[in-house]
A and B are shown apart, each in its own frame.
Chain A
Amino acid sequence: MAVLEIDDIESIDQNLVGPVVRAGSLAEAIIDAVADDNPGRDVLVLDRDDYVRIHTAQTCRLTRASLERHLGQPVQLATLEIDMPAFKGRLRTRTDEYVWFYDK
């Protein structure tokens, strides 16, 4: 599975879910962590320079352990919300894991 760059989200008829994050080193670390935490799924990235959409189909998992590994420092998932102005799907939050999921 790969990290794919897209330039249009509307034309993808999958139920995409995942965070929208301010561009920068945190966003890059989240992309890598999501790729690790969602084996078997493509990670779609829509980069709008100022913010980045990071989505997978149906379910998107992000663990604290993966994020810390890619960021190179300890991090609380709750602090993400400062850099996450929006997300797509529904979000379930746990101390060590955030999961975005599709629910009709």
Chain B
Amino acid sequence: MTTEHIVASPSAGAKPRTRRLKTWTAFGDLGRRPSEYEILTHGLNHTTGQPALELGPDVHGNRWLREHRDSMSLKVGDWDAFRDPDAVTYGSYVAMQDDQETYVEGLLERFDREDHDAGLPDEALDFLALTVTPCRYLAHAEQMLSAYVQQLAPTSYVATAATFQTADQLRRVQLMAYRTTQLRLAFPQRTFGTGERATWETYPAWQPIRDAVEHALVEFDWDRAVVATQLVVKPVADLLFLQQLGHELAAAGAVLDGLLAENLWRDAQRSRRWTGALLRFLAAADPANVGVLQGHLREWAGRGHAMVAAGSGLLAQGGGRSSTEIATAVTEGWRELIEPIGLTVEAA
């Protein structure tokens, strides 16, 4: 190999180049410069010291973290090695969702201008009251569940992804509330805005869904909370009440609500991407983690299947596809999320 030394004249002032920007030593030897996402996300968890919170070791918060996070069976050498495949930062999240909200506001204005709601047939209104507006409760529960996954996450890389997932749910709750109010104003004789709570708490086909959500809310160990929220309740609920409901709403003539569900499904897909990455990360960190997850999943799969059965029955009332067809599509979507690392949704 020939070598090409540059023969620079003194005036060229050639000297070894020093970087103006330095990497953070906290990253160790990455072998490259940390990305903007990494710089904004790395090592932000302030609860990983000893004790976790800078308070007495026996204050409630420290006992909670010891018992529900630090004692869990998942074993990971370096939690800060996890990366969100979408590398979402606060700045990119705000910009991305600003675009989505602009689109959604445009839809609402366009359909409002054309008096869309006044033209909805009774069957479509019944279907909206049964499946769409009660989702305010479901989405708020998903918001609380996501916030708990964030609160106890062992690394800020997971916490940050879960924070944006929480924000996605807040966005959905706000949109549901807005649509509910629009429908209440257009149809004051109906119970939009006042009847959802009774539907959520007493309508038979909603009960397996409420049951799963409420049990997930009292899963305090972080690994169990991840399984309940990220692997069962949220993916199944989103497949049902965003992806599949979107198709059924379009078929039932509720075009606007179908388009809104389709847009919210984008957020759910981002959640699925980082959840899938987290599963691969856990499996790679220690193969025994797959067994831990499967143990929790075995306890939870039954509730997931009950959600699929009840939810697909609800959606079939729109008069589109049969509950069997909807259930098959949802189960397939659920499997696609968890089976790549060898987990199964078979119930105990």
What residues of chain A have their CB less than 8 Å away from a CB belonging to chain B? 1-9, 11-14, 25, 28-29, 31-32, 39-42, 44-45, 56-58, 69-73
Contact = CB atoms under 8 A, between A and B. Distances in A.
9 contacts: A4-B8, A13-B9, A28-B21, A40-B2, A42-B6, A44-B8, A57-B6, A69-B32, A72-B30
Interface string B2-36: 11111111011111111101000000001111111
A58 B9 contact: no
> Range of interface residues on chain B?
20 to 34
A72 B12 contact: no
B35 A6 contact: no
Contacts of B198: none
B88 to A, nearest CB: 14
A28 B22 CA distance: 11
B35 A42 contact: no
A70 B33 contact: yes
Contact of A12 (B2, B9, B21, B31): B9
Contact of B9 (A4, A11, A28, A39): A11
A1 B3 contact: yes
Contact of A6 (B2, B12, B19): B12
Contact of A28 (B11, B15, B18, B33): B33
Contact of B4 (A6, A9, A28, A40): A40
B1 interface: yes
Contact of A4 (B16, B30, B32, B34): B16
A47 B77 CA distance: 40
B186 to A, nearest CB: 47
A41 to B, nearest CB: 4
Contacts of A5: 13-18
Contact of A40 (B1, B8, B11, B17): B1
B254 to A, nearest CB: 39
Given A3-B16, A25-B35, A69-B32, 16 more contacts: A1-B4, A5-B13, A7-B12, A7-B13, A8-B12, A8-B13, A11-B8, A11-B12, A12-B7, A12-B8, A12-B12, A40-B4, A44-B6, A45-B17, A72-B32, A72-B35
B151 to A, nearest CB: 29
Interface in B302-324: none
Given A70-B32, A72-B33, A73-B35, A14 B16 contact: no
Nearest to B2: A40
Contacts of A56: 4
Contacts of A11: 8-9, 11-12
A3 B19 CA distance: 11
Contact of B3 (A25, A31, A40): A40
A35 to B, nearest CB: 10
Contacts of A14: 4, 6-7
A2 B3 CA distance: 12
A48 to B, nearest CB: 13
Nearest to A24: B21
B32 A41 contact: no
A70 B33 CA distance: 7
Contacts of B31: 69
Given A5-B15, A6-B14, A11-B11, A58 B32 contact: no
Contacts of B35: 25, 71-73
